[in-house]
Each structure stands twice: as structure tokens, then as C-alpha cells.
Structure 1
Amino acid sequence: MITRSIVASIPKLRKIHQPNCYHSVSSTKPHQFNLLNHKDWLSPTEVIKLFETLKDPNSTLTVLNQLTKRKDYKPNEALYTSVINNLSKTKNFDGIDQVMKRIKLEKRCRLSDGFFYNVIRIYGLGGGRINRAIDTLFDMPSYSCWPTSKTFNFVLNLLVNTKQFDVIREVFMAAGRLGVEIDVCCLNIMIKGLCKNGDVNGALQVFDEIPQQKCKPNVRTFSALIHGLCESSRIEEAFSLFEKMETEGVEPDTILMNILISGLRKNGRIEESIELFDRMLLKGCEPIPSSYQEVLYALLDNRNYVEAMNLTRKMSSKKLVPSFESYKLMINGLCEESLMADVDLVLKEMIGNGFVPKMAMWKQILQCMFSGKTISYSV
């Protein structure tokens, strides 16, 4: 009886004492908003953990302000990174500005290029504050830190992608005073930016200056410039540059070949684009989906509908899906040539790839079947 009563009482004892036990443990942890009253010494790891586990990122600056008033406050790069990452979650870019000013005034720790790269990325990509990203790059020396090529090139690429063409040259020319050594990646970004801005001649001038910068052009250099030439319908110059590239021992990649195939097709040189695709296969460049699609359009432009059918089968074998526009053009052409057996095959393939024929397409097919006449249609 006594044993049973003791055993029976154990769960009750746990229920009675468990909350007290938890209470005593929790009382040893500092409350995140009572840092000034917390007597225990906080290690740098504990401080960083505090910000990483902060439930409300909006309270980041409040907690930081309390922390700075403690005697054990010893800021470091990891702490500032956690604070800035928290502020970025709530899009509090004014708060990030405040933290950056505090860092400059305190001068209590050294910061790496990686820290500034993160801040610049947050300003540029997270907040669209391109000017703040540029200002931060230019301000790095005042923090006793100099940008690497990686950070400098990131800003340049950011300017190209956001079409800030009016300030790209200004940033580029600042490389010397920022202690940045110009590399081929930097020059590639400049070439891409100039081409996007329609200044292909300016891009060619940068290309000619590459040897003076003690750099060697790579496949990306040629890709950016050839793309610009193709977009400007300067196909002959694009191919001359392509030949120069091969002469200098730079192997073309799939992207470059695709640029040339697309450029030829868009400029009406259909046969050459198809030949280049075959050449691409011989050179061992594995085509990407858009390569097949460009050649498919070239075959359709050239009214080679049967060859186009064969290419779509090859694409299907590689689990590549032709565009709906391709199928529409193919069925239209096969109907015009009264190749109804082929129309049936293409229609089945099209439906098998998840496309639903529109009413106008069915109407054309039926007219072709019963009257031998076709009509054009649009979707």
C-alpha cells in the first residue's frame, strides 16, 4: 500500500515541481529588453545570438542602443553584420544608415571587404538604393578598408543591370583612387554595359584596351561584344571577332554559339544559322534549350517543315518542349502543303506536351482536311 501510494504520487510531484524548475532556469537568461539590468557578463557569441534570435527585427536598434551602454560592449564585425541583416529584413534602410554612421564614429573594430560587400548588396538588391550602394563603395577608405575587385565589380554590374549608364564610367574611373586593380571581369562588365546602352563602338574601344590593362579576353568578353554586334545587325563584324577568338585559342561555349545562331536568324541568314548549329554539335558544345528553339524557328522561317518536325522529335527525346508558337507555325505550314499525316503527328505531340489547340487552329485543320484549302489564323 505504501509503495503504491509513493508511485502514484510521483506524477503529482512532477506536476507540482516542474513549473518551478523551468522558472528557475528561465530566470537565469537575460530578457532581451532588459540588457541594462542584466548583471552577468555577455560574451561576443551571446550578443550575436541575441540578435540572431530576436523575434521582432523592428526592435534591433532598441536592443543595440541598450547594448552600447553596457561596460562589456565590445562591437565586432559579426555583431554589426547581424544588426544590419536584421534591419534589412524589415527594409529599415534608414536604420542601416544610422548603424554605418555609428561604426564610423566609434572606430572600435576593423571591418573586412566582405562586410561592405554585404551592405552594398543589401542597399542595391534589397532596397534598390543604388546611390547608397555607390556612396558606400566610395566611403570604404574612411573605414580603413579598401574594396576588392569582387565588391567593385558587383557595383559596376549592379549599375549595368539597373541601366544606370550615366554613372558607370564615373565609378569605373574611380578604380585607381579606390586601390582596385582592373581585371578582365571588370572590362567585361563595361563592354556589356556599353553594348546595352547601344554604344557598340565604345565597347570595341574598351576591347582594344584590354592588352594595355595586362588582361586577356575570355569567352565572356567575346560573348558580350558579339551579342552587341548582332543586336546592331553588324553580323560580319561579329563573325570576324568570332574568328579572332578562335585564332587566339579561346574556345567558344554554348552561350556564345547561341548568340551567333540567334543573330544570324534575326538578320535573315537562315541557312547559315542552321549550319552553325551543326558546327556547334561537331565542336562538342552541348546545345541549351534556346539553341534548339532558335534553329527550330530558322527551319520554320525557311519553310523546312519536315526537318522542323524531326527537330521537335529530337527535342522531345531530350525532354525539351518546343514553344506553342513553333507548333502553330508548323501546323500552319503543313496544312498549306496538305501534309495531313504530318499534321496529325504534330498535333498529337503538341497535346502530349501540354498545349491545348485553339479554335482557330482546329478550324484550319478541318478546312484543310475537307476542302484542301487553308486559312491563316492568329492566337
Structure 2
Amino acid sequence: MDMSNLIKNITDDYEKIVLNKIPLIDVRAPIEFIKGSFLNAVNLPLMNDEERHLVGTCYKEKGSEEAVKLGHQLVSGKTRQERIDAWASHLNIYPNSIIYCFRGGLRSSISQQWIYETTGKEVTKLHGGYKAFRNYLIDHLVPPEQIVPLVLGGLTGCGKTVLLKKLDNSIDLEGLANHRGSSFGRYVTPQPTQIDFENNLAYALIRHKHRGYSKLLLEDESVNIGKCIIPKPLYAYFRTGNLILLDIPFEERLINTHNEYVIESQEEYLNEFGDLGLSNWFEYISGSMSRIKKRLGGDLYNRVIDCLQFAYQKQLESGDATAHKNWIEILLKEYYDPMYDYQIQTTTRKILFKGNTNEVLEYLATTQI
């Protein structure tokens, strides 16, 4: 490819990137990447945070020409080669990757040029960069036309998320938010930034629309999923969906909740923190309990926290986590279940169907939802 043709190796086919899950190389500085990026993007910066800061200061004080000159001085020699090697290594694995900076301007053009000059690899640049792609995704954070939302509801522990994952025409909002959607729902790994959550949600909506479904199945969520907020127009659209209720026996719900919030959650903490994992898990659960103390009321809070402390101490002594079912049972029966029952009794949304997992799946299949 002639150097003069590099400028032609550019794309603005954002939909293709979303649908084909095309890998992306983000050459912005790490501080920019952390604030928000895209699925399938890896941060391989042209300049690190300090270099970017120095160049930005130079631009403000001395203008564009001097800033570009400083940038080339800072990223030269061994540093320049290390950046190129990182890009080339990624392209060896993902040769169809697309490169971008903030506006699709100088940084991505320089990176594109250096890659070709040094390795002969031809990499496509994203037209408009991060800003244009982000705006494209924002434009798709609106109620999808001619697609009817259906909301999967049910008491805590009935397995709504598990059921959703079995269906191609669903979007797992909790999965996108990396949160279980309750006061105790935080994972060890952090939630995405609000920008990343919105970008990921836009990806999911675009892919769902492309599949041609007339219905969109979602879990019954509040506007906040942990710290992630569902955009208002979409949340209002989701709330127009009629309900399908998942209903399973209490004992199964208790087992599911114990497995998810105790067994699996403790395993996450142990994998992340080693010997401190169990104590860190207990600190998080007890802290979460304190945050809903007013809603629980003093008497219920005291009984639940006493049961939690007893179960934790017993687990430390014997290694047996079974006693944690006691405080979970109290919370389900005396807090979560009454609250959800009230919400269902007062809802204005139509309940289309209620049944266990197999019955709901059969209903969805036979009604071509």
C-alpha cells in the first residue's frame, strides 16, 4: 500500500464493527480509555498519560506545531519501537483490528503510518474515532422501533438471569452492569463505567434489532443496577413491557440464593484476596446489611445480623457454610418477598403468564415470543 493511500484506509461502518465484534486498538492514553471505551477494544496507547499531559500543555502554550514536535521527541527510539511492537503483536493475533484515537485524527494516523512503515501491516483507521463511534452508540440508546418489551419478573432467587441466558431474544442488563441487581449484588470485579455500560447496552440493542425479533425479553430491574443507570428513555420503554412471572418453590429459591450470594460469592473473594477472602466477603455482606438497616427496621436488622455473625463464626470453626441459609431465609421471607408481592399487587402492567422455569420456557416457545 502506497503511503499516500493510507488516508483512504478508513471506515465508518460502525454497525459492522458491532455485529461482527471486530477487534479495536485504542491508541488514546490510559486515562482516556479508563473513562470509557468499547467492547473488543484493547488500550495500546501512542502516548502514556504523562506524555499526553506534556504534549497537551505544550499545545496550549506554544501551539500545534510545537506540540507535535514534542510528541515525536517523547515517543522516539526505544519507546517508539515498543509501541509499534505492541500494535504489531496484537495485529498478528487479530489482523482485522481497527485503530482509533479520540477524533480519528493525528494520533491514529501516526500509529497507522508507523505500523505500515515498520511492519508493512495495513491497519484500518476508524473515521471520527472514539467520539464518532460513541455518538453512534448514543443514538441507539432509544426504544427500538416495532420491538415489544417483555419483562421477566419473579421473587428473589427464582433464577431469572439463568433463564434469560437460555433465550436468544433477551438482554441481560445485570450481566452488562456486572452486578446482581440487589443490595448484596456487587461482584469482586468492578462494574463498568457509566459510559461503558451505555456502550455495551447499545451494542446489545443493535445486535438484537439485527436478529429481527419482534419481542425483547428483559429482567424486571430498577433504574439503577448497582452504580450503573439505565438511560431514562430506555427505562421508560422497558417499563411498558407486560410481565411474565417465574415462580418456583421457596426451598429452591433459598438454595439458589445461598449458592449465588454465599458459595459462589465467597469463591470469588477467595480467588481475589486469598486468605483474606472470607473476611472481606463478610465485611461486604455485613456492610450491605447496614446500608439497608433503615428499610429493614431495627428488630429485623438485629435478627438478620445476629444470624449472619453466627453463621460466619460457625463457618470459620467448621468450614461449613450451611448456617448462612438462616439469615437468607429471614431476609427472603420478611423483607424481599413482601416488598416484591406489594410491587406485583400494585403494578399496572398486565401479567401474561406465571409458571416454573420449564413452563415459562414452553410458554415463550409456543407463543413465538
The answer to whether TM tops 0.5 is no
Larger relative contact order (Cα-Cα within 8 Å, sequence gap ≥ 6): 2
Q: Highest CA radius of gyration, 1 or 2?
A: 1
User: Which structure carries more helix by proportion?
Assistant: 1
